[in-house]
Chains A and B, each alone.
Chain A
Amino acid sequence: MSRTYTPGLKVLHNTTVRKVRQLPLRGKVNLAIGDIVKPDRVVASTHIPGNVHMVNAAILMNVEPDAVPECMLVKIDAPISKGQIIAQSKGFFGLFKSHIKSQIDGTLGNVSGITGQIILNEPPIPIEVDAYTSGKVVEVIPEEGVVIETSAAIIQGILGIAGESHGDIEVLTKNASDELTEDMILDSHAGKIIVGGSFISLDTYKKAIRKKVAAVVVGGFNYSDITTLLGYPLGVAITGSEDIGTTLVITEGFGKISMADRTYSLLSEHNGDFAAITGATQIRAGVIRPEVLIPFPDSSDHGMVFDETGVATTEGSIVRVIRAPHFGRVGKVKSLPPQLMKMESETMVRVAEIEFEDGTVNTIPRANLEMILTD
């Protein structure tokens, strides 16, 4: 039987998920293997260097650069406080001395006898990483973080905006093809993850932000609305650090596209359940997908770890078309003819015959198919 490798998005009802929660720099890990955690538990912490201030001491004290080190009243790495005199010139026969006061609380970082600069460091900035999901610590990465394991349902989106959040799921539309409209968003949705069908307009999304909704999950969004929302165009699909208050996860793509039935059904099954969500996306090297993770309260109900290394499209695979003219449609692979075929665009490609849910059969380039990785 023919096989082809096509990337896919996961829509899994019950699987074992492992989440690596790691610091950007080395620090302290607060947990041990076997610890049970809640999503907001701080698992590791560290400090990143504080902001740096460079002061041209030679000019301020009117001395040569090489005279600056001997004018220092504070040693390197010693603490300093705002307003403290940290350097003083010898003056002229002890008179007309100039001095430098620290502009900050922090430490003296460096003194240069060549440039005449001194460097002041602000106090280190604390960084904390939380657990993101409930679960059990199964691995400790020394000085860096932990791996948390949980049984969960997981839905991957194609693109998200803004970072991690959590809340209870509330499905607002009647079906996967409905648009999520302004009138559906109420005050009671504050802190929740709301789910729509095919589309959300910019105005509706802005209302979700105003109502302090934790996150929105929909099929599609307009690209130009992202530009308006962020105030700059999204040039490459690397997101997660946007500060907009309400995380957005698009499951299908740009434009108005019905959410895949499996995705919508799974979210509907978990209406009212707690979920962790992230919009962080990276389509380039080191792919990161946005996701909705619904951890099960009883972690003994273990699903299998989903192994995607051997996943390939074969006859019978459920796939989604990810490019015009059948963009968004879901169907089953009927056959994978080995020979190259000419498309309307005259491109010669390897194709798959897809039988759609309405019984029609179309020939689609294999490159334009995405597997729905489901259990």
Chain B
Amino acid sequence: MAKDINPDKVNVILATDCGSTTTKAILIQLVDGVYRLTHRGEAPTTVEAPFEDVTKGVLNSITELEELSGRKILDGEKIISPVKDGIGVDIYISTSSAGGGLQMMVGGVVKNMTGESAQRAALGAGAIVMDVLASNDGRLYHEKVRRIRQLRPDMILLSGGIDGGTVSHVVELAEILEAANPKPRLGIGYKLPVIYAGNIKARDAIAERLQDKTDLTMVENIRPTLEKENLKPSRDEIHELFMEHVMAQAPGYKKLMSWTDAPIMPTPGAVGEIIQKIAKVENITVVGVDIGGATTDVFSVFQNQFNRTVSANLGMSYSICNVLAESGVPNVIRWVPFDTDEEDLTNRIANKMIRPTTIPQDMDDLKMEQAISREALRLSFKQHKEFAVGLKGIQKERTISDAFDQSESGESLVDLMELNLLVGSGGVLSHAPRRHQAARMLVDAFLPEGVTQLAVDSIFMMPQLGVLSTVHDKAALEVFNRDCLVHLGTCLAPVGPQKTGKIVLDYEIDLGDGKTEKGSLMAGEMKLIPIEYKPCKAKLIPGKNMDIGWGKNESRDTVISGGVVGILLDGRGRRPFSLPENSTERIKKLLEWSTVTAEYPNLEGQS
């Protein structure tokens, strides 16, 4: 468990992430004064039967690490720590999303005020929010009671009311919980943890109702005033209870917790840590996405505000059919660059749902999988934009300059034109056979505007770096920049009215070594300038009424960077972006864009 760590004495770091299917171990070492990822190993997670002990998978992944690195780390089933005579590690840390992660229910008096704040706190702590209970959610009392009983969450966060305000509404929510007498998902004999983070005036009444039936803790109000959101105490308490109750019930976790030098964090909570850190250190806006088998997490930092959403049923294997259901078959087919039979497509996708660990062997299968990933990413980002908003229900102070701005409280913080860095992770992006495919999936799904850097997490080590950043900032950031991020390049996407044959962007990019790339990007066109990751001077002149980031018709000399893919020019339009409706025309355009962006090989020979 947590111990005092002197960062100056840490030379070798072992970190694991216990995912729902795979446990990944990484070894970080101080090499020539810089922390670097040196080795990684993995093994199947062993939370489920027949093993039912998470530490077995952890030990297997560390054993693989030992074999690959030649470094002795284990003494039987014990991690050797600290380093002595060149063996062992200085610290060991871990994250976990095994066993379905942290599943929570939250409650608030008004759904889009305290309900939304509670949701933000839970999501930020790395939870999946199963439902938001609110006085005004339109459900009858008995429906709410039935829902709580059905869901059996790991934990409930109850908020409501500003400090000193009316108590009856939040007490009513507590009465609903009391009537439901909820049971936790894990552990038949223990009480469900409930965190109360609402009006302090209602504490006694809440305790009276929930003290005996639940394991009740109280923290500061999540919304002490309408204008202030106070998420940290709730998030900290969620982490605490996650360790004490939820993890302690999962097989083998008590043992694992005794091994780690810092509290085990829920995987998405750890990813959020590192994203926030990067945004702060680099002073940039960031969107990060982790597309998994069951869920897709989106993280963003805009206007110094961090937001995380988890689309609990949008993923690339376990919940792939839900992506199909939510997006609709036509929206998936629109990305497939060949004629396909609808029945065949849906059966193939459904077979991935029931055999989630399979991988595409032939090219058509890969294209179909990447087509559906675009929709999973698009839908998750749509949900994120709707959720990542300013506080609702507050009076906004307005200045003279705002006088003509009709914006209201609660509008989305996500502004794609302001976005500096888009980072993707998760199997379909990190393990795409060509990095060009990852770049195309990110661009097609997120539709970045203006000038945006693209990157992927090379081997999905953001979770481990996130928890590492809580105990050793320097090591986490050095590894993040040197070994974690694969810089794909920069996307240039002008925004404005589209018309066939119209120039949307003129560009002149200095590639170094006396080479310059100069040209015009036409409406509906994509181009790729291959150039490695380095700063390149660029002159960008948007077409008539177009905006490349500095306002309509505003040209700019700027510096952009290449990457393993290069500089991707996207003239296909935004707001709205659309594909040809005619199937032949659509496939022709998809093939054209694929060819110029080197997305797939041998397109001419494909069906």
Binding site for B on A (CB under 8 A): 5, 7, 25-26, 48-49, 51-54, 65, 109-110, 112, 114-117, 119, 121, 144, 158-159, 222-224, 227, 233-237, 253-255, 283-287, 307-309, 322-325, 327, 343-349, 364-365, 367-368, 370
CB–CB B351/A323 < 8 A: yes
Residues of B within 8 A of A5 (CB): 44
On whether A54 and B362 interact (CB within 8 A), knowing A224-B343, A255-B347, A324-B348, the answer reads: no
Q: Which residue from chain B places its CB closest to the CB of A6 in the assembled complex? A: B357
Shortest distance between the CB of B314 and any CB in chain A (Å): 9
Q: Which residue from chain A places its CB closest to the CB of B433 in the assembled complex? A: A346
CB–CB A285/B20 < 8 A: yes
Shortest distance between the CB of A359 and any CB in chain B (Å): 21
B145: which of A52, A115, A159 is its contact (CB, 8 Å)? A52
Residues of B within 8 A of A344 (CB): 361-363
CB–CB B188/A26 < 8 A: yes
Decide yes or no whether B350 CB sits under 8 A from chain A: yes
B325: which of A158, A233, A324, A346 is its contact (CB, 8 Å)? A233
Residues of B within 8 A of A116 (CB): 168
CB–CB B360/A327 < 8 A: no
B343: which of A222, A283, A324, A345 is its contact (CB, 8 Å)? A222
Shortest distance between the CB of B437 and any CB in chain A (Å): 9
Shortest distance between the CB of B336 and any CB in chain A (Å): 14
In the complex, the number of residue pairs spanning A and B with C-beta atoms less than 8 Å apart equals 181
The 0/1 profile, CB within 8 Å of A marked 1, for residues 341-355 of chain B is 011101111111111
A255 to B175, CA, bound (A): 50
Decide yes or no whether B172 CB sits under 8 A from chain A: yes
Decide yes or no whether B194 CB sits under 8 A from chain A: no
A370 to B49, CA, bound (A): 18
CB–CB A368/B359 < 8 A: yes
CB–CB B361/A343 < 8 A: yes
CB–CB B167/A158 < 8 A: no
CB–CB B319/A49 < 8 A: no
On whether A284 and B100 interact (CB within 8 A), knowing A117-B175, A345-B433, the answer reads: yes
B354: which of A26, A119, A158, A233 is its contact (CB, 8 Å)? A158
CB–CB B354/A7 < 8 A: no
A222 to B100, CA, bound (A): 28
Shortest distance between the CB of B350 and any CB in chain A (Å): 4
Residues of A within 8 A of B205 (CB): 114
A-B contact pairs, 17 of them (CB 8 A): A121-B179, A222-B343, A223-B347, A224-B343, A233-B325, A234-B321, A234-B350, A254-B346, A284-B318, A286-B49, A309-B51, A323-B359, A323-B361, A325-B362, A346-B363, A346-B366, A365-B359
CB–CB B351/A254 < 8 A: yes
Q: Which residue from chain B places its CB closest to the CB of A158 in the assembled complex? A: B354
Q: Which residue from chain A places its CB closest to the CB of B98 in the assembled complex? A: A285
Residues of A within 8 A of B179 (CB): 52, 54, 109-110, 119, 121
Known: A7-B357, A224-B342. 14 other contacts (CB 8 A): A49-B149, A54-B142, A110-B175, A115-B168, A115-B171, A223-B321, A223-B349, A233-B322, A253-B355, A254-B351, A284-B20, A323-B352, A347-B360, A365-B359
Q: Which residue from chain B places its CB closest to the CB of A255 in the assembled complex? A: B347
CB–CB B178/A110 < 8 A: yes
Decide yes or no whether B294 CB sits under 8 A from chain A: yes
B322: which of A25, A236, A327 is its contact (CB, 8 Å)? A236
Decide yes or no whether B180 CB sits under 8 A from chain A: yes
A109 to B177, CA, bound (A): 13
Decide yes or no whether B365 CB sits under 8 A from chain A: yes
On whether A254 and B350 interact (CB within 8 A), knowing A235-B321, A284-B318, the answer reads: yes
CB–CB B313/A287 < 8 A: no
Residues of B within 8 A of A117 (CB): 172, 175
CB–CB A323/B360 < 8 A: yes
Q: Which residue from chain A places its CB closest to the CB of B312 in the assembled complex? A: A236
A345: which of B50, B146, B171, B366 is its contact (CB, 8 Å)? B366
Shortest distance between the CB of B102 and any CB in chain A (Å): 13
CB–CB A283/B353 < 8 A: yes
Shortest distance between the CB of A230 and any CB in chain B (Å): 12
Query: Would you list the 10 A-B pairs with minimal beta carbon distance, nearest first?
Result: A235-B322, A346-B433, A223-B350, A54-B141, A233-B325, A345-B366, A254-B347, A255-B347, A323-B358, A254-B350
CB–CB B361/A283 < 8 A: no
On whether A347 and B357 interact (CB within 8 A), knowing A222-B343, A236-B321, A285-B48, the answer reads: no
CB–CB A285/B366 < 8 A: no
Residues of A within 8 A of B355 (CB): 158, 253, 322-323, 368, 370
Chain B stretch 528-574: residues in CB contact (< 8 A) with chain A? none
CB–CB A368/B358 < 8 A: yes
A324: which of B354, B362, B431, B601 is its contact (CB, 8 Å)? B362
Most buried by A among B149, B172, B364: B172
CB–CB B351/A327 < 8 A: yes
A153 to B543, CA, bound (A): 72
CB–CB A284/B361 < 8 A: no
A26 to B168, CA, bound (A): 33
On whether A51 and B142 interact (CB within 8 A), knowing A110-B179, A368-B358, the answer reads: yes
Residues of B within 8 A of A284 (CB): 20, 100, 294, 318
CB–CB B172/A324 < 8 A: no
CB–CB A367/B183 < 8 A: no
Residues of B within 8 A of A112 (CB): 171-172, 175
Decide yes or no whether B238 CB sits under 8 A from chain A: no
A103 to B601, CA, bound (A): 70
Shortest distance between the CB of B200 and any CB in chain A (Å): 15
CB–CB B318/A114 < 8 A: no
